[in-house]
Each structure stands twice: as C-alpha cells, then as structure tokens.
Amino acid sequence: MFHVKQNSNLIPVVQCPICESNDLSLYMETKDYFYTQEDFTITKCNKCEFVFTNPVPKNLARYYETDEYLSHNTKDGGPIASLYSLLRSINIKRKYNLVSSFCKSGKILDIGSGSGELLNYFNTNSWETTGIEPNITARSFSKKEYSLDIYDEDKLDSLQPEYFDVISMWHVLEHVSNLNNRLMQVKRLIKENGTLIFALPNLNSPDANKYQKYWSALDVPRHLYHFTQKTFNKLLEKHDLKLIHAEPMKLDAYYVSMLSEKYKKNRFPLLTAIIGGYLSNFKARKNNNYSSMIFVVQKGK
C-alpha cells in the first residue's frame, strides 16, 4: 500500500481516478525538471494499472507561472522554443486534415486552445469555432490577435448540449484536475454522431522507457495523469465512449527527447534528440506505442 507523503501544500489522492480502487503503489519518484526542481511521486493503481501524480499541489496554477512555459510562450528565441514553434506550425495543418477526414466542416470546440493558432486556422476555413483556455494571457492574445471566441473553463457548464460536431483536446486531458467531470462535460456537449479528439503522451513509448524519471512528458506536477493506450481505453469505457481510430504524433518524439536530454544535462541535446526521436519512432512501429498518440472517440452505441 502506498503511503502519501504528508505536506500541507499537497493534496493526497487516495483512490484511482478510473476504477476508484485504493490499492495504490509507488510507480516512480521524479521532479519538476522544467521549472521548480521540486520532488514529486507518481503512483500506480494495482487494480487497473492507471498511473497518476500523487500527491498534487493545492496551488497548481503557480507551476504554470513562468515565461518559459512553451504552451503559452514561444518567443524567447532559444533553440527549444524555435523547435516548438516549427513543430506547432507543421502540426496545425496535420490536425486540420485529421479533423476534416471525420468531419468536413461544422462547429468545433477546442479545449486548451492556447494562443489560438489552431482555431484561427479552422476559422479561416469556414468552421464555427469556440475555444476554452484557462490561461488569461493566452486567452486575451487569442481574442486580440485573431478575434476568436475564447472562454475560461467555467464556460463549459453553460454551453449548449449536443452542439458541437468536433471537440478537441490536444495534450490537455493530462492537465485537468477533475478527469471524470471533464469526460462528462465533453460527452454532454458533443453531438450524437460527433467526434472527440484527444492527444496524449504515451507512458508505454520507447522514449518513456528510455528516459524514465527524466522523460519530459511526465511534466509533473502539471501532468496529473500518465496514460497508456490500455488505461485510456478503460477511462473511455467507464464513460460509455468508444475509440474508433488511433495514430501517432511522430514529431513529438523529437521534442520530448530534446527536453529529456536537457533534463539529463546533456550539453548537446539537439543532436542526441534527433537520433533519439528517430529511434523511438522506429521501435514504436512494432506495436503503435509512439511518444504521443491521437485518439479519435465517439459516443458508445
């Protein structure tokens, strides 16, 4: 039985968010290599094998309060920021093409819309767009730069039910404090034949196995959950949702490898990351366990 460290600034998680078992064990000890360098633990449910950060900070917001957090800032001019910007530009068109293969046009809700580049691309291609973004700086930028309709998270409960053709969460679900509530929210908002899209880091990927506690996609404590394809499917089943398609985000392996090498204090992270990202993708071909995966989901029938 895992015993959570006692700390007044941390909240222990005593039950698995998926199966509600309290049979938990220590999975890994790591730290916030990205920002604070604070130590954190990750636990595993012995019943359903779900892995999650435990305990979690009471004030999660402060772990996002850095200009280096690249989800909201890619203008520092450094090589990692430049790589992130390049990959984002490539991924925007790819994401649009993926969504369009399931729904040619309609109403899209992007949860975790960041600074709005993806929704702006949809907007210029005649989609009706709505965004949810908790970061006030990114939200304000989206409105000012692209004139998008972007709201804080509390807006989710007042949006019209069964209104959206597509709801997307690109590397967002792992950040959400109430996992099951978020699944219930998106299920309420999506049309009966609508499409849900989730992009998630994959704990079973070759680069996750290689870097272990240094794997940058752990990103504790900002990442509260660490999914595998198996545990994500269990979450979907719990909410009567079904997986209809899965595909890799191959470019993520290079970015994740670069950050991981940086955390290991490699003096030449870019070169090592290029090699490491290639090898990760090569090994992942055997079982489709890439560094990051895109899951296309619909309501169960």
The structural domain count of the chain equals 1
Q: Residue 196 falls within a domain, yes or no?
A: yes
Torsion angle of the four alpha carbons 87, 92, 95, 100, in this order, in degrees rounded to the nearest 10? -160
- Residue-wise pLDDT for 159-179, tens only, equals 999 999 999 999 999 999 999
Which residues in the chain belong to E strands, given as ranges? Answer: 10-11, 24-31, 39-45, 51-53, 56-57, 107-111, 128-132, 150-151, 164-170, 190-201, 225-226, 241-248, 292-299
- Residue-wise pLDDT for 119-166, tens only, equals 999 999 999 999 999 989 899 999 999 999 999 999 999 999 999 999
- The residue range of the domain holding 243 is 59-299
Q: Residue 29 falls within a domain, yes or no?
A: no
- Residue-wise pLDDT for 218-259, tens only, equals 999 999 999 999 999 999 999 999 999 999 999 999 989 999
CA separation for the pair 215, 93 (Å, rounded): 27
Q: Residue 45 falls within a domain, yes or no?
A: no
Yes or no: say if 222 and 63 are a contact pair by the CB < 8 Å rule: yes
Q: Residue 211 falls within a domain, yes or no?
A: yes
Yes or no: say if 61 and 53 are a contact pair by the CB < 8 Å rule: no
Q: What is the CATH number of the domain that holds 73?
A: 3.40.50.150
Q: Residue 47 falls within a domain, yes or no?
A: no
Q: 182: Cβ–Cβ under 8 A, 6 or more apart, which residues?
A: 173, 176
Confidence of residue 66 (pLDDT cuts 50, 70, 90): confident
The model's pTM is 0.92
Q: Residue 1 falls within a domain, yes or no?
A: no
Q: Residue 20 falls within a domain, yes or no?
A: no
Q: What is the pLDDT of residue 47?
A: 97
Q: Residue 30 falls within a domain, yes or no?
A: no
- Residue-wise pLDDT for 180-224, tens only, equals 999 999 999 999 999 999 999 999 999 999 999 999 999 999 999
